[in-house]
Structure 1
Amino acid sequence: MKPTRRSILRSIGAGTAVAVGGVGAVSAAPPSEGETIVDIASSDRRFTILVEALGEAGLVGALDGNRQLTVVAPTNEAFRALLHELGVSKTELLHKDNLADILLYHVIPGRRKANSIANVSRLPTLNGENIEVDNVDGAVRLDDRADIVDTNNEASNGFVHAIDGVLLP
């Protein structure tokens, strides 16, 4: 059977990835089926405020597609603490002009398990800024504001890690 152009290009692409040291867990092949990041967040009562915020900001589609992403997802308690800290209501927060920037600051390109996050000092985000990462007494701390409290919730298009604070760009 004569190889097709497509199969040749695929083998070149795979060989190139291996030649440069692979691309690791960040872009590992996704599971072929299953729940998306949005499905996981929507079915977990800890993330109802996050899901509502994603809807208000028009970002549900961005997290529901095939693009491989990792979300460090603030819990409802994290959002309530932020509301208290800022002295605003949930409605006021959901109508902030920079809501999409805040939410995209919680989204990391690629599939990253918790150990991949713990072993770096900084993570790029979809809003263009970086999250600072520290290991403090065995906990992974982000921007000195939030700890990862539940890890490796795997979706067909990435991972969801619950955090106990809301990160602010």
Structure 2
Amino acid sequence: MADIVETAVNAGYFKTLLKAVDISGLTETIKSPGPYTIFAPTDDAFANLPQETLDSLLQNSEKLKRIVAYHVAFGDVRSDDLAQLDEAETVEGSVVAIESSNGKIKVNDANVIKTDILTDNGVIHVIDGVLMPAILAGH
């Protein structure tokens, strides 16, 4: 099996996320043994951000690092476990809200559209939105 970064590269629809991980300097963290759970926005999710917001983030590595780290939770949290949780602590330091109802899972306001992509050092859950830590949401 591949690690989280290699798995995301191979999937082909996380190009913007991988670019953000690279710019933010978190590649080595996400390649480390972990385990980590990544809530991974697709390229389409990033495309839903206003272009100027995305451009601004990609040019601000400190802010970008907080946002990328906010998509990474500690541990190997599979969908069965997610359904039991109300929140998860992120590498960024704050928590994401997790809501499960009618067989669907949401992380903050993003829908989990694919679960349990297993990797050597954790698991990827694909989401349809970009998560923003509360401290940056208004910026």
Shorter-chain TM-score above 0.5 = yes
Alignment of 1:18-29 (within 5 A): none
- Cα distance in 1 for partners of 2:125, 2:80 equals 11
Give how far 1:42 is off. 1.1
Give how far 1:89 is off. 5.6
Which one-letter code corresponds to 2:128 in the other structure? D
In the alignment, which residue of structure 2 is the partner of 1:24?
none
Report the 3-state secondary structure (helix = DSSP H, G, I; strand = E; otherwise coil) of the residue aligned with 1:119.
Answer: coil
For residue 125 of structure 2, the aligned residue among 161, 165, 168 is: 161
Indicate the RMSD between aligned Cα atoms, in angstroms.
1.3
Report the 3-state secondary structure (helix = DSSP H, G, I; strand = E; otherwise coil) of the residue aligned with 1:99.
Answer: helix
Please, which runs of 5 or more residues in structure 2 have no aligned partner? 134-139
Which one-letter code corresponds to 2:100 in the other structure? N
Does the alignment pair 1:100 with 2:54? no
- Cα distance in 1 for partners of 2:57, 2:111 equals 22
- Cα distance in 1 for partners of 2:82, 2:101 equals 13
In the alignment, which residue of structure 2 is the partner of 1:46?
13
- 1:121-141 Cα offsets, whole Å, 9 max, x none, are 111101110101112432101
In the alignment, which residue of structure 1 is the partner of 2:98?
133
Q: Which has the larger radius of gyration?
A: 1
- 1:103-133 Cα offsets, whole Å, 9 max, x none, are 1000010111111112111111011101011
Report the 3-state secondary structure (helix = DSSP H, G, I; strand = E; otherwise coil) of the residue aligned with 1:115.
Answer: helix
- 1:24-51 Cα offsets, whole Å, 9 max, x none, are xxxxxxxxxx200000111111100000
- Cα distance in 1 for partners of 2:53, 2:91 equals 26
- 1:32-76 Cα offsets, whole Å, 9 max, x none, are xx2000001111111000001101011111111112101010001
Give how far 1:91 is off. 3.2
Percent of residue pairs identical: 29
Q: Is the 8 A contact 2:57 2:63 kept in 1?
A: no
In the alignment, which residue of structure 2 is the partner of 1:73?
40
Report the 3-state secondary structure (helix = DSSP H, G, I; strand = E; otherwise coil) of the residue aligned with 1:62.
Answer: helix
TM-score (norm 2): 0.89
Query: After the TM superposition, which parts of structure 1 deviate over 4 Å for at least 4 consecutive aligned residues?
Result: none
Say how many residue pairs are matched: 132
Give how far 1:100 is off. 0.4
For residue 30 of structure 2, the aligned residue among 63, 68, 88 is: 63
- Cα distance in 2 for partners of 1:116, 1:129 equals 19
